[in-house]
């Protein structure tokens, strides 16, 4: 394997994997053994090995979500050994490498658990609740026509940086998964504060936060208790400051918008 | 007026009620603590009994009392509603393995348990002092005020009573260690200049207030029995 460490010894692991046929059935933990896992493999590659074994035996492979496998799409979402995206901070599951584990380890793998994220199958959950929250207000209005000049609207560097930090949210759902209240407030706050900080977001500023919070509540996510699990587990380091921004955006919108509902 | 109802029943609205009532109750703790420090005056309770008489008869204080009761009522009611909603949000299937202790504090995850301990204490506390002061015949001191100081002294000479008080103050301390700063965060008051100050003040506040309250039963138990 190119770039692999020749001294790394292959590992044998016991996996305890959540298996669930569909969202209408109950799931359970099933034990599997995987052998000769290279420490250079990513966690998802290790699961690929498991699935190849299962296919060879004629068993159903384990369903899990993944797409870019480079930490930017937010698709891979596994609850590994009791932590969202596993033991390493600031990492998505696809960027977690097997060198973080040791030979003989037992690894428990579960899907995100939240009422608003029903399990599709095994480790794959339906996160379309996030899509509906974005549809409720996570957008800006722009004029059609020629492309505007890049520096037409001056934005202070510090504001641009803070908005960019919030914009790095990949909507993986680790905040919901790790929160004891299954609250989506870190996600919603990242989206709201990103657009609230920038002049482009001003047109829908009040309706955005009102509609996104209403949709968040409708989807059945819990409320924030300022525990901080979300920010600790967030693979891109979205900070709790965003939740404070969300709260004051919400409060000022509710107090001043023309929306009587 | 449905917008007010919708605002206050939203997840953020309920948290804001929790924060406002919680910080209001913190202000009550300061008043209560300063007033009760008169127990240490060493005048046989005359100043404390005068203060108790004022607090239970002054009409302004009686109005404040109603606001205080409302503060407790809303804080507890919203806590119950939010806890139920938050538990439902997880769904029926909990994690088989969860290591939430690796990413958060015990105290911030157990505000409901800590609050329940405080509530039990509050009921005992209100019966023993408030109810008895208002509705039971008490002896009078030399200035013809009801001698609440004598009730305090006898109560705090009972070991299990002292133990309950100290335990409740420990619970209150942990509740405040999370709650004080959390209240500001919920109100949106998070700023890189002020948040470190709020956190430090919250820590000092929690420890000083709870140590102050716990000192009262311990003082009577150790030095007056």
pLDDT(A3) > 60 = no
Assess whether A68 and A181 both reside in one domain.
Answer: no
Q: For residue range A210-254, what is the model confidence (pLDDT) as tens digits?
A: 999 999 999 999 999 999 999 999 999 999 999 999 999 999 999
Question: Are B86 and A217 an interchain contact pair (Cβ–Cβ within 8 Å)?
Answer: no
Assess whether A193 and A231 both reside in one domain.
Answer: yes
Rounded to whole angstroms, the Cα distance separating B30 from B53 reads 19
| List of chain B residues whose C-beta atoms are within 8 Å of the C-beta of residue A233 | 103
Assess whether A174 and A91 both reside in one domain.
Answer: no
Q: Residues of A numbered 154-173 whose beta carbons fall under 8 angstroms of chain B's beta carbons: which are they?
A: none
Assess whether A136 and A249 both reside in one domain.
Answer: yes
Q: For residue range B65-81, what is the model confidence (pLDDT) as tens digits?
A: 999 999 999 999 999 99
* % chain A with pLDDT above 70: 97
Q: Band the pLDDT of A150: cuts 50, 70, 90.
A: confident
CB B180 within 8 A of CB B206: yes
Rounded to whole angstroms, the Cα distance separating A166 from A192 reads 9
pLDDT(A2) > 70 = no
pLDDT(A1) > 50 = no
A147 falls within a domain:
no
Assess whether A83 and A172 both reside in one domain.
Answer: no
Give the domain extent around A67.
11-120
Residue A50 makes CB contacts below 8 A (sequence gap 6+) with: A15, A17, A32, A34, A61, A62
SS (H, E, C) chain B: CHHHHHHHHCHHHHHHHHHHHHHHHHHHHHHHHHHHHHHHHCCCCHHHHHHHHHHHHCHHHHHHHHHHHHHHHHHHHHHHHHHHHHHHHHCCCCCCCCCHHHCCCHHHHCHHHHHHHHHHHHHHHHHHHHHHHHHCCCCECCCCCECHHHHHHHHCCCHHHHHHHHHHHHHHHHHHHHHHHHHHHHCCCCCCCCHHHHHHHHHHHHHHHHHHHHHHHHHHHHHCC
pLDDT score, position A5: 63
Using the Cβ of A193 and the Cβ atoms of chain B, whether some distance falls under 8 Å is answered with no
Q: For residue range B140-190, what is the model confidence (pLDDT) as tens digits?
A: 999 999 999 999 999 999 999 999 999 999 999 999 999 999 999 999 999
A5 falls within a domain:
no
C-alpha distances out from residue A168 to A104, A162, A231, B93, Å: 36, 10, 13, 30
Contact residues, chain B to chain A, C-beta under 8 Å: 2-3, 6-7, 10-16, 82, 85-86, 88-91, 93-100, 102-105, 108-109, 111, 178, 181-182, 185-190, 192
Q: Interface pTM (ipTM) of the complex?
A: 0.93
A219 falls within a domain:
yes
Q: How far is A254 from chain B (nearest CA, A)?
A: 7
Assess whether A101 and A137 both reside in one domain.
Answer: no
Query: Domains in chain B and their CATH numbers?
Result: 2-89+111-223 (1.20.1300)
Rg (CA), chain A: 21
How much is the mean pLDDT over chain B?
Answer: 96
Rounded to whole angstroms, the Cα distance separating A33 from A53 reads 10
Q: How far is B123 from chain A (nearest CA, A)?
A: 26
Rounded to whole angstroms, the Cα distance separating B175 from B172 reads 5
Length of chain B: 225
A6 falls within a domain:
no
Strand partners, A114: A117
A1 falls within a domain:
no
pLDDT score, position A4: 57
A62 falls within a domain:
yes
Number of domains in chain A: 2
CATH number at residue A250: 1.10.1060.10
* Pick from A140, A180, A136, A168: nearest CA to A239: A168
A158 falls within a domain:
yes
Q: Band the pLDDT of A151: cuts 50, 70, 90.
A: confident
- Which tokens sit at A134? 């974005």
In this complex, which of A115, A180, A241 lies closest to B91 when CB atoms are compared?
A115
CATH number at residue A62: 3.10.20.30
Assess whether A187 and A246 both reside in one domain.
Answer: yes
Assess whether A75 and A184 both reside in one domain.
Answer: no
C-alpha distances out from residue B39 to A172, A199, B159, B162, B217, Å: 57, 58, 19, 15, 10
Assess whether A220 and A242 both reside in one domain.
Answer: yes
């Amino acid at each position: 394997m190119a770039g692999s460490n020749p001294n790394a010894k292959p590992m044998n692991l016991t996996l305890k994997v959540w298996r669930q046929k569909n969202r209408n059935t109950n799931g359970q933990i099933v034990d599997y053994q995987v052998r000769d896992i290279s420490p250079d493999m990513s966690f998802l590659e290790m699961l690929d090995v498991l699935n190849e074994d299962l296919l060879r035996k004629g068993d159903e492979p384990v369903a899990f979500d993944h797409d870019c496998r480079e930490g930017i799409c937010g698709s891979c979402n596994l609850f590994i050994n009791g932590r969202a995206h596993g033991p390493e901070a600031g990492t998505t599951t696809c960027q977690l490498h097997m060198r973080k584990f040791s030979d003989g380890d037992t690894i428990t793998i579960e899907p995100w658990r939240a009422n608003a994220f029903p399990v599709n199958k095994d480790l794959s959950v339906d996160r379309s609740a996030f899509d509906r929250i974005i549809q409720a207000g996570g957008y800006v209005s722009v004029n059609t026509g020629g492309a505007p000049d890049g520096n037409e609207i001056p934005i202070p560097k510090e504001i641009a940086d803070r908005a960019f930090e919030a914009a790095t949210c990949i909507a993986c759902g680790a905040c919901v998964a790790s929160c004891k209240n299954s609250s989506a407030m870190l996600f919603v706050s990242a989206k709201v504060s990103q657009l609230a900080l920038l002049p482009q977001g001003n047109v829908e500023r009040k309706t955005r936060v009102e509609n996104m919070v209403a949709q968040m509540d409708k989807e059945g996510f819990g409320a924030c208790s300022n525990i901080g699990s979300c920010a600790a587990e967030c693979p891109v380091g979205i900070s709790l400051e965003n939740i404070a921004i969300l709260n004051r955006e919400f409060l000022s919108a509710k107090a001043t918008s023309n929306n009587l509902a | 007026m449905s917008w007010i109802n919708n605002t206050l029943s939203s997840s953020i609205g309920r948290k804001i009620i929790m924060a406002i009532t919680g910080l209001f109750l913190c202000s009550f703790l300061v008043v209560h603590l300063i007033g009760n420090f008169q127990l240490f005056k060493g005048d046989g309770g005359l100043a404390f009994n005068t203060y108790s008489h004022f607090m239970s008869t002054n009409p302004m204080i009686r109005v404040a009392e109603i606001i205080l009761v409302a503060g407790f009522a809303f804080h507890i009611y919203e806590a119950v509603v939010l806890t139920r909603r938050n538990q439902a949000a997880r769904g029926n299937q909990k994690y088989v393995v969860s290591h939430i202790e690796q990413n958060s504090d015990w105290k911030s995850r157990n505000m409901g348990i800590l609050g329940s301990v405080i509530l039990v204490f509050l009921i005992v506390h209100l019966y023993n002092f408030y109810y008895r002061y208002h509705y039971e015949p008490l002896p009078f001191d030399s200035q013809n005020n009801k001698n609440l100081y004598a009730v305090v002294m006898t109560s705090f000479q009972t070991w299990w009573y002292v133990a309950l008080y100290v335990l409740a103050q420990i619970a209150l301390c942990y509740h405040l260690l999370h709650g004080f700063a959390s209240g500001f965060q919920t109100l949106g008051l998070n700023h890189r200049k002020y948040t470190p100050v709020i956190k430090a003040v919250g820590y000092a506040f929690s420890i000083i207030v709870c140590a102050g309250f716990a000192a009262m039963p311990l003082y009577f138990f150790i030095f007056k029995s």
